[in-house]
Amino acid sequence: MMRNWPVKLITSFSRLYSTRQASQCVMTDSRRVAICQMTSVEDKAKNLEVVAKLIQDAAKEDVQMLFFPEGCDYLCANKADSVSQAEPIIGGATVGSYKELAAKHNVWLSMGGIHEKLEFYSKFYNFLNTYLPFLGPADPKKAYNTHVIIDNKGEIVQTYRKLHLFDVEIPEKNIRLKESDIANGGGHIVTPVETPVGRVGLSICYDLRFPELSTSLSILKAEILTYPSAFTQPTGKAHWHVLLRARAIENQCYVIAAAQVGTHNAKRKSYGHALCVDPWGTVLVDLEEVSPCYKVVELSEQKIKDVRLNMPVFQHRRRDIYSLYTLSLRKDLLPLHSAAPLPSCSSPPPSAHSAHSAGEPGYTFGHVTVPKTCVFYKSELTYAFVNLRCVIPGHVLVAPIRTAERNKDLTEEEAQDFYKSIRIVQALMEKVHSADSCTVTMQDGRNAGQTVKHLHCHIMPRKKGDFIENDLIYLELAKHDQFKPGHPAKPARTREDMEAEAQFLREELEKMINEKINRINEINEINRINEINEINEINEINEINEINEINEINEKDEVNEMNEKNEMNEMNEMNEMNEMNEVNEMNKE
């Protein structure tokens, strides 16, 4: 049932003491969500009253998560006010109130598109942008449009900064919305967050028009795509429903789009029609133009499974032809804008891999950087490089370009590319070292011996007798880079030695690829010749058949002619005999 009431009735509300247990971040049998719709104004206190009332009432219906629209904190008519009222996410009063409400009512909150003040950047922006370039360019005089996820304990578990800013001017309709006047664009996609109602992928409003983002999130195992919005009325009437249904259908996810509705000020009106769409594209909830209101809906994990089983479109994707991983789905996938501070790491002694000049091109490998000059193979998602400390000659490493600590952290496309690359590199190393065998191994996790927190595969070409006991290679691998007292690591190779090996391997890889291409061309040429021969044989057979047919026809014609002649002769003879008989009879008379 939809709940709505006039804003003027919202005054004070009694505290609701929940007896429900804290929600766990897994999908359970109960997956009740509330989709909310409101009409934000400039007054943050009034907007907060609306939010609080919606949370209080929905919590009574045992919902586990509520979804609020873009601009749920405030919407101003003027640019200066929009920026000046922004608050930091951490320490800000508005987000602080949201956190208290979440903990008080034991619910998760999706607060879509609040104005985030860059207070920290104002002092240290130049420093941060120099040393933390992944934060992306930002104007400290503008805010971010930030989607915040808060758990039922009142903790921020994920934030996403809107990537696509809505800039539109329609003078004849008196519409001018330039989001870039007040907001910075975000710098990366964030990984979907585990919630009690499923794995939620974060987007905001105008992001809806860019299907690459939603597809990227679904590849990253999102089950629910969110589009908290403040759509204008003209664009809403034309595209709102069809876009949301399309995102649900093509990604086979639930789509939840909380919405702003009605008149916010003299310059701005919103379309409303907050929606929940299921993975088949069926609209489960449409809040039309009611405000403020919410509606509860049950999500079904089984529905997602059934749709994906019956229409397995992601299995049918032609990853050999196209890939969305050209969209910066590498380090940028890490949730760098979460509330938690970035983790610090203690590094082992300096290595040749990290001894490169500032600004020199390279690849992040755990706590070190591999110079590009030490890399001999690179695909779209994977690279291979020579080793600093080799167990045996030809010992090289293969790693995903994106920082992924464990095998389980790889996405489906990354895993496919990673193992395909391992096969190519293995073939190269066996060829270069005249080996007929290879040890291919991963130390997946600390207790498995992993010393660099970045998934990598060791490839070591093997020859008969290279170890007295074949499996001793694993003991050598376990201690070859240790720095413990009494267990000195193998001496590090020089940069020059490593670069020379990488250059040699690049050349050999090119030769191997060319040889393969030549073999393919030879096979194609043989097939082409065989096809020509087959065609010639067929043509010869056809010619023989045609000749035989002609001969048969000629023979038939000759026989027919002879038969006709014989018939004529017989007739002539009969005629002669008849004439003779007639003459004889006449003579008798």
3-state secondary structure string, 110-174? Answer: EEEEEEECCHHHHHHHHHHHHHCHHHCCCCCCCEEEEEEEECCCCCEEEEEECCCCCEEEEHHHC
Measured over the CA atoms of residue 58, residue 59, residue 63 and residue 68, the dihedral's sign is positive
Fold of 360-493: HIT family, subunit A (3.30.428)
Domain ranges in the chain? 3-7+33-326, 360-493
* Maximum Cα–Cα distance across the chain: 153
Binding residues: 387, 443, 449-452, 458
Cα–Cα distance, 113 to 204 (Å, whole number): 6
161 CB burial (10 A radius; 0-12, 13-18, 19+): buried
Q: Are 399 and 410 in contact (CB under 8 A)?
A: no
Beta pairing class for 65-68 and 108-116 = parallel
Which tens digits make up the pLDDT trace of 510-565?
888 888 777 777 787 787 788 788 888 888 888 888 888 888 888 888 888 888 88
Cα–Cα distance, 395 to 389 (Å, whole number): 8
DSSP secondary structure letter of residue 424: H
Q: Which residues are catalytic?
A: 456
Provide CB contacts within 8 A for 177, sequence distance 6+: 166, 167, 168, 169, 232, 268
Q: Which structure tokens are listed for 321?
A: 């032809």
Segments in the chain below pLDDT 50:
1, 4-24, 26-27, 120-135, 325-358, 483-487
b/e 511-540 (16+ beta carbons within 10 angstroms → b): ebeeeeeeeeeeeeeeeeeeeeeeeeeeee
Q: Are 192 and 200 in contact (CB under 8 A)?
A: yes
Q: Are 41 and 77 in contact (CB under 8 A)?
A: no
Beta pairing class for 224-226 and 198-202 = parallel
Task: Name the nearest CA neighbour of 196 among 426, 337, 22.
Answer: 22
Predicted local distance difference test score (pLDDT) of residue 534: 80
Q: Are 165 and 206 in contact (CB under 8 A)?
A: yes
How many CB atoms are closer than 10 A to CB 558?
A: 10
Q: Can you name the residues that pair with 286 across neighbouring β-strands?
A: 275
Q: Tell me whether the CATH fold assigned to 3-7+33-326 matches the one assigned to 360-493.
A: no
Provide CB contacts within 8 A for 477, sequence distance 6+: 391, 441, 443, 449, 458, 460
Q: Which structure tokens are listed for 416?
A: 């496919």
What is the phi/psi pair of residue 437, to 5°? -145, 165
Task: Name the nearest CA neighbour of 146 among 338, 5, 369, 288.
Answer: 338
Pick the CATH number of 3-7+33-326 from 3.40.1190.20, 1.10.357.10, 3.40.50.970, 3.60.110.10: 3.60.110.10
- Strand positions, DSSP E, 391-462: 396-400, 437-442, 457-462
Which tens digits make up the pLDDT trace of 229-276?
999 999 999 999 999 999 999 999 999 999 999 999 998 999 999 999
Q: Can you name the residues that pair with 438 across neighbouring β-strands?
A: 461
| pTM for the model | 0.55
Binding residues for substrate: 387, 443, 449-452, 458
ω into 196 cis (within 30 of 0): no
Q: Which structure tokens are listed for 525?
A: 């040429």
Cα–Cα distance, 198 to 254 (Å, whole number): 10
DSSP secondary structure letter of residue 391: S
Cα–Cα distance, 52 to 96 (Å, whole number): 13
Cα–Cα distance, 343 to 195 (Å, whole number): 23
Cα–Cα distance, 270 to 75 (Å, whole number): 11
